[in-house]
Amino acid sequence: MKFLRPEYLNLGWVLLAMAVWCGIALYFLGQARKQLGGALYTLTSRPSSLLLRGIQMAIGLAALGCLILALARPQTVHSLKVPQLRRIDAVILLDTSPSMRARDITPSRLFRGTEVIGTFVQKKLPGDRIGLIAFANNSLVLSYLTGDPKNLLFYTDYLREQSALQYGTNIGGALKSGMVVFSRQTEIEPAMQRNKQVLILLSDGEDHGEELKAELRELVERHIPIYSVGIGSREGSLIPVGERNGENQYLTGPNGQPLLTTFDESTLQEVAGRTGGRYYRARTGMEIDQAFNDIFVKAREISGYRQANESRERYLEWLAAALILILIRVVI
């Protein structure tokens, strides 16, 4: 046991002096009774009053002792095993193909995705690092792994304002770029291999590339899970590509008719399932927040334990004991 305010223990000397004084007082009172004999017994209370007075003094001193200990703030120290959480290195793969401009999720699939990324990176744990890759037919590494939220926020703002369109959706190429980020970072920092590596794929699931199967095999071999988030409604939506004379223009097909986006849930489920990750469905956009929070909890692993000491206050117990003793003293 230790004390947070040990200076109050010096009041114990006062308590000791009071105990000595009480002992002396009882002694002389007893001697006086012997000398005066039965007359004193008649003038005072019953013969047991001396013993009773001694008990009362002892209870009062004990109550005072408990109050002194309560003032000194006693604490007990307990040894605990605190889990050490493994840090996460995550690369976010954000689909920026024209279909992500669909507005079935307000204000658009792409805007909502960048908004959630920007919010999340500001709340992440200090040791975690995040990279960002934008992809359509080709992939562009916007940010390598970094713990600086401002760096990622710059690129999410850039993507929201980007007006140039790049057609096609090559998910396999994006996965390959994600592995390149991990490989290059490992060359620079070999110690980062101790961190948990994950890929987070945000897309509407339409894959038009030919690299997906090969990249999935490599990810399985490297034990890198993919957590995929499907963005969009099943009904689909028109794809805005700009404005003309104040009117929205939409992507059209060979027949000149506006095209509806499609949602390929099976592709996103496959990449998550084969790599040991998880698939999340975002129909309104609100689910993306929960998916990000869930991903960084599910992917978190315990790398070990460290010993830590925890102090627990015990002054309330001594204070309660003092109050009980005071009540007993009043009753008797």
C-alpha distances (whole Å) from 184 to each of 150, 179, 232 are 22, 9, 33
In a domain, 307, yes or no: no
From the list 156, 3, 155, the residue with the least C-alpha distance to 76 is 3
Do 39 and 166 belong to one domain? no
Is the predicted pLDDT of residue 291 greater than 70, yes or no?
yes
62 HSE (CA, 13 A, CB side): 15
45 and 194 assigned to the same domain: no
Q: Stretch 188-201: mean pLDDT, rounded?
A: 86
Q: Which residues pair with 238 in a beta bridge?
A: 260
Question: Structural domain of residue 143, as residue ranges?
Answer: 87-300
| Cα separation, 219 vs 171, whole angstroms | 13
Strand-by-strand arrangement of the 302-313 sheet: 2-3, 74-85, 302-313
pLDDT of residue 182: 93
Confidence check: pLDDT of 76 > 60? yes
Burial of 266 per CB tally in 10 Å (0-12, 13-18, 19+): exposed
The percentage of the chain sitting over the pLDDT mark of 70, rounded to a whole number, equals 90
pLDDT digits (tens, 9 = 90+) for 219-249: 999 999 999 998 887 777 777 776 676 666 7
The enclosing H or E element of 109 equals: helix 109-121
Torsion of CA 226, 231, 233, 237, to 10 degrees: -130
Instruction: Say which residues have a Cβ less than 8 Å from residue 136's Cβ, sequence separation at least 6.
Output: 95, 96, 97, 98, 166, 167, 168, 169, 170
pTM: 0.67
Which whole number is the average pLDDT over 196-222? 86
Average pLDDT over residues 286-301: 78
Same domain, 185 and 275: yes
| 171 part of a folded domain | yes
Are residues 49 and 138 both part of a single domain?
A: no
pLDDT for position 192: 77
Q: Render pLDDT for 140-157 as a digit per residue (tens, 0 to 9).
A: 999 999 988 888 899 988
Residues 270 and 137 in one domain: yes
Chain mean position to CA 176 = 31
Are 120 and 171 within one domain?
yes
The 10s digit of each residue's pLDDT in 99-143 is: 888 888 888 888 888 988 888 888 888 888 999 999 988 999 999
